[in-house]
Structure 1
Amino acid sequence: MTDSFILGIDSGNTVTKAAVFSEAGSLISLGDCEVVRIKPRPRFVERDMNVHWQMTCQAIRQAVAQAGIDPSQIAAVTATGHGDGLYLVDEDGAPLGNGIVSLDSRSAPVIERWEAEGVHDEALKITGQMPYAPAPSALLRWIKENEPERYGRIRWVLSCKDWLRYKLTGEIATDWTEASTAFVDPDTQDYSAAALRLFGLEEMERALPEAHDPCAVMGEITPEAAEATGLKVGTPVAAGLHDVTASAIGSGVAEQGVVSILAGTFSVNEIISGEPKPSPEWYCRNSFRRGEWMNMTLSPASSANIDWFVKQCCRDAIRLAEERGGSAYDYLEEELSEAFAGDSRSVYHPFLYGSPHGNDSSAAFLGLQGWQHRGHMMRALLEGVVFNHRHHVDALRSGFHIKGARLTGGSSRSPRICQLFSDGLGLDLETVDVDEAGALGAALCGAVAVGLYGDLGEAARRTVSVSSTFSPRPQVHRTLDDGYQRYKSTIHQLRSEWRGLRGE
């Protein structure tokens, strides 16, 4: 083992993390800072880009200090960040308003119009995917129509991670995976002028950064960034990856056949293919290697529902955890065990923050009875989260051979939830001994960039190991399959009521 380290930055919709790893992929230290979300109007979810940078600097300083290392020991730095959304800068590299995060849905009217006009179908042919509300294409069109002065001042269209890399290095660029979120032809894997014309954004061609290999060195830590972060001037910075691809790499999924499942704020489900297979059911985007594609289907409807429920309805468990130690979930296990021991037909729709069923969806508990208690609500909630993942995984099953699944995210630390995923999906499932998969996936790009590994496939194989395996239990799978059919039926029945329930 050498005394060199790699630094990965993972900037999500709420928290930005900086993690120091050993060359072998072991987590040495972690710094994290919350970046306050700004919600000036319904459907708007933003962040101050300068504050975002400041919080990232703070997280980096925390991580390096906790690691107890000299910054000169960090061989490379790489960032990943939430996909989609927009971080716009002007000719001087200054932010053009707040950054727009991927929970934003202001462009829903644009999406509805495009659907009616047939733009969606044409987009699938040209870009391998249909745009949705936080996609750069839809957001740029919304800004063009509603904020023309801001639109006219755009010099660069950046993603979350590319904004951070710009602040670290002063260099404007992106990578293959991030470039393919909206404007790339899946056959050529390069930008498409036809896509820009389709969306009415031809003038944005000059604003799209050049796309590079995720493991290419795309600059060095500048003196200004070194002063802000405590990193050493001249430290190499790699291009990096779109966050869900970084999470797949960080969980060891670098080959075809295994579906990578991330249960976090978003339900992310993705599989690598050796040919482009566009479908309305998933996004066909560039993988980390040329000649391969990452097929992903996702929605903002996963484990964030669990966190919300615990904060709102389980404050006694939170208090006990604060007083006695451990996790709040430890003090809820008895209630959950009792609920899972019997029969329950209650249903939960995990659509607090969005869904794959349209922009009008909302969350709901259905079928609750007076004899049930909080544990039954948690059971329905957990099953609802798994059912939403199944909706996505079943879509991938229709186009790809899936031999197994690998689960990451906070839920992967719970054996109960992991077994529920295996039973609900009917798949053998693995978890890995990685706490920060996104940050590790990013950091491994830097490790490859400076020659510590030959490529990302090798890096993933040598740094990630399986910690637990779960196999579906036939009888439980049949029971959950019945529950999934009820779940789908209730969604169908409620769709016509969602807009009225939102009050919009």
Structure 2
Amino acid sequence: MTPTYLLGIDSGSTVTKAAIFDMEGNTRAIGRAQVSPRHPQPHRVERDMEETWSAVAEAIRHALSNADISNTQIAAIGITAHGDGLYLLDTDTRPLGPAIMSLDSRARDLVATWKSQGLEQDALSLTGQFPFPYAPTALLGWIQRNQPERFSRIGSILACKDWLRFCLTGELAADFTESSTGFTNVSTQRYSREALRLFGLESLDHALPTMRLPTDIAGRVTRKAAAATGLKAGTPVVAGLHDVTASAVGLGHIDNGDLTITSGTFSINEVFSDQPRPDQRWATRNGLEPGQWLSMAISPASSSNVDWFLQQCCTLESKTSPQILQYLESDLDAAFEDDSRIVYHPFLFGSPYEEPASAAFFGIQGWHTRAHLVRAILEGVVFNHRVHVDALATRFAINECRVTGGGAHTPRMAQLFADTLNRPVTITGTQEAAALGAALCAGVGIGVYGSLQDATQSCHPVTTYRPLPTIRQTRDAAFARYQQLVTQMAPLWDMLDTPA
């Protein structure tokens, strides 16, 4: 039987998805599995590496079952996953402690120390970015200082999707997009020993895997992995890519000047360019191929705030309605019609600011309802995206804007993005953009498509939401209140912070 489908794997912070697509990019079936992060101490977010692989294997089995196809019909596999964080192997290629997730902030004091030592400009010039607390370089520096025995045993430095690809194929590799999380020269786009030396990590030169392009075949499914997943042994697996880049591919938005917004655990706002433009407000990383760069303005402050509130404050509804926001829809209609001026700062897990920001509501009064609080959270999430988009717009000529992730697919959120950003926002038909992007890379890898540009022809826009001129002044005023409160609160955040 001729292989006719592509498998895209997307391992997020909590949910892993395996999606099967036909060669036109249509979804045949999806399998899901959950692996929850652990919080062993304040500011630490970890998960078990073997459990992460088990969740992927489970999701693949479900996808194959739901698709009702033979495993021989899967032509190739692409993998994407959450970025940054750290997945370490020892010299025997065994997991070296738990994975450290990208919501982890244990290294924030080290990052502050590096900044006080004047490393910021050197890092920006050399690597295109200054480390976030969850960046691999910062986490490795923390391990070096706090877990020296573990540091001495490091054999391979992997990202999440690299670990999962290793579990599938038994082959170690890194990909072009995610190798640039601080280990590469921003100009040459290749590994840089000078970059390692900048952070005192030159002894780890041996631990950086071979770098491959996202569409390169990096291995084939082993018999052991086939038994765990239900896949056919020998199925080719491409190197894959960082999930934020995969989302842009899955949205068909990979030309220079294209702006992609992902509203998920992180507020991700990214634009492609043909020249690197490092700036302290974003990370400049490798694009999809040499000669292309991706500038990513990111903070861990997006729709995860909505999830947190619904879990904590809507427990009864969650038992009867899996789609709680739909359950609250009529109440939200009324809340958005009111002249409510509640402001919410969505900084539960971090912020774009240097200070240890925390989340907060401002302006709650007795007449407000739970729906007004949800409205404020939705607005706060989009305001935080605007902070990043406004910054990018100062250095890049932005073309069309496409939005994906979580609540972005609802008409309410899509219109809120358009009105707040004051630019048209386009939604595509897929709700699994990252998995589709990984699958399209697999299709290029085996020659189904001649290039990623050819592959993305199947990614058609569905709806464009345009900003309503009648409410621009109202939206801008609300954003100004949000920004003013950020300025006023900044001196107080340290007082409210929990020590690391």
Equivalent residue in structure 2 for 1:372, among 364, 368, 372: 368
For residue 190 of structure 1, give the secondary structure of its aligned residue in structure 2.
coil
Letter of the 1:231 partner, please give it.
Answer: L
- The 8 Å contact of residues 3 and 75 in structure 2, kept in 1 or not, is answered as no
**Shift, 1:227, TM fit:** 1.1
For residue 244 of structure 1, give the secondary structure of its aligned residue in structure 2.
helix
Question: What is the distance in 2 between the residues matched to 1:116 and 1:90?
Answer: 32
Question: What is the distance in 2 between the residues matched to 1:173 and 1:312?
Answer: 40
Equivalent residue in structure 2 for 1:465, among 460, 463, 469: 460
Which residue number corresponds to residue 60 of structure 2? 60
Which residue number corresponds to residue 491 of structure 1? 486
- The 8 Å contact of residues 272 and 294 in structure 1, kept in 2 or not, is answered as yes
Is 2:393 the partner of 1:397?
Answer: yes
* Partner deviation per Cα, 1:370-394 (whole Å, 9 max, x = no partner): 1222222122111101100000001
Question: What is the distance in 2 between the residues matched to 1:258 and 1:158?
Answer: 29
Question: What is the distance in 1 between the residues matched to 2:146 and 2:208?
Answer: 21
Letter of the 1:466 partner, please give it.
Answer: P
Give the alignment of 1:317-332 within 5 angstroms.
Answer: 317-321=317-321, 327-332=323-328
Runs of 4+ in 1 over 4 A off after TM superposition: none
* Partner deviation per Cα, 1:207-239 (whole Å, 9 max, x = no partner): 111111110000101111111111111100000
Cα RMSD, aligned residues only: 1.2
For residue 154 of structure 2, give the secondary structure of its aligned residue in structure 1.
coil
For residue 420 of structure 1, give the secondary structure of its aligned residue in structure 2.
helix
For residue 388 of structure 2, give the secondary structure of its aligned residue in structure 1.
helix
Question: What is the distance in 1 between the residues matched to 2:49 and 2:355?
Answer: 26
Is 2:135 the partner of 1:127?
Answer: no
Question: What is the distance in 2 between the residues matched to 1:403 and 1:275?
Answer: 16
Question: What is the distance in 2 between the residues matched to 1:350 and 1:343?
Answer: 21
Letter of the 2:137 partner, please give it.
Answer: S
Letter of the 2:305 partner, please give it.
Answer: N
* Distance of aligned partners of 1:78 and 1:484 in 2 relative to their CA distance in 1, 3 Å threshold: same
Could you tell me which runs of 5 or more consecutive residues in structure 1 were left unpaired when the two chains were aligned: none
Which residue number corresponds to residue 469 of structure 2? 474
Letter of the 1:401 partner, please give it.
Answer: A
Which residue number corresponds to residue 97 of structure 1? 97
- The 8 Å contact of residues 156 and 209 in structure 2, kept in 1 or not, is answered as yes
Question: What is the distance in 2 between the residues matched to 1:421 and 1:476?
Answer: 13
- The 8 Å contact of residues 317 and 329 in structure 1, kept in 2 or not, is answered as no
* Partner deviation per Cα, 1:102-121 (whole Å, 9 max, x = no partner): 01111111101001001122
Question: What is the distance in 1 between the residues matched to 2:394 and 2:299?
Answer: 18
**Shift, 1:257, TM fit:** 2.1
Higher mean displacement: 369-378 or 234-243: 369-378
**Shift, 1:90, TM fit:** 1.1
Letter of the 1:492 partner, please give it.
Answer: T
Question: What is the distance in 1 between the residues matched to 2:318 and 2:170?
Answer: 43
- The 8 Å contact of residues 317 and 332 in structure 1, kept in 2 or not, is answered as no
Is 2:143 the partner of 1:143?
Answer: yes
Question: What is the distance in 2 between the residues matched to 1:222 and 1:503?
Answer: 46
Question: What is the distance in 2 between the residues matched to 1:301 and 1:213?
Answer: 30
Is 2:316 the partner of 1:345?
Answer: no
Question: What is the distance in 2 between the residues matched to 1:183 and 1:287?
Answer: 15
Is 2:275 the partner of 1:279?
Answer: no
Question: What is the distance in 2 between the residues matched to 1:290 and 1:219?
Answer: 22
* Partner deviation per Cα, 1:261-287 (whole Å, 9 max, x = no partner): 000111100000011111111111000
Letter of the 2:120 partner, please give it.
Answer: H
Question: What is the distance in 1 between the residues matched to 2:347 and 2:70?
Answer: 45
Give TM-score scaled by structure 2 length.
Answer: 0.97
For residue 412 of structure 2, give the secondary structure of its aligned residue in structure 1.
helix
Question: What is the distance in 2 between the residues matched to 1:488 and 1:262?
Answer: 21
Question: What is the distance in 1 between the residues matched to 2:116 and 2:443?
Answer: 46
Higher mean displacement: 435-444 or 310-319: 310-319
Which residue number corresponds to residue 296 of structure 2? 296
Could you tell me which runs of 5 or more consecutive residues in structure 2 were left unpaired when the two chains were aligned: none
Letter of the 2:92 partner, please give it.
Answer: D
**Shift, 1:311, TM fit:** 2.2
**Shift, 1:320, TM fit:** 4.5
For residue 16 of structure 1, give the secondary structure of its aligned residue in structure 2.
strand
- Aligned-residue sequence identity (percent) comes to 49
* Distance of aligned partners of 1:137 and 1:479 in 2 relative to their CA distance in 1, 3 Å threshold: same
Question: What is the distance in 2 between the residues matched to 1:503 and 1:17?
Answer: 34
Higher mean displacement: 140-149 or 340-349: 340-349
- The 8 Å contact of residues 108 and 359 in structure 1, kept in 2 or not, is answered as no
- The 8 Å contact of residues 124 and 280 in structure 1, kept in 2 or not, is answered as yes
Question: What is the distance in 2 between the residues matched to 1:254 and 1:125?
Answer: 25
* Partner deviation per Cα, 1:42-96 (whole Å, 9 max, x = no partner): 1111111111111111111111111111111100011111100111101111000
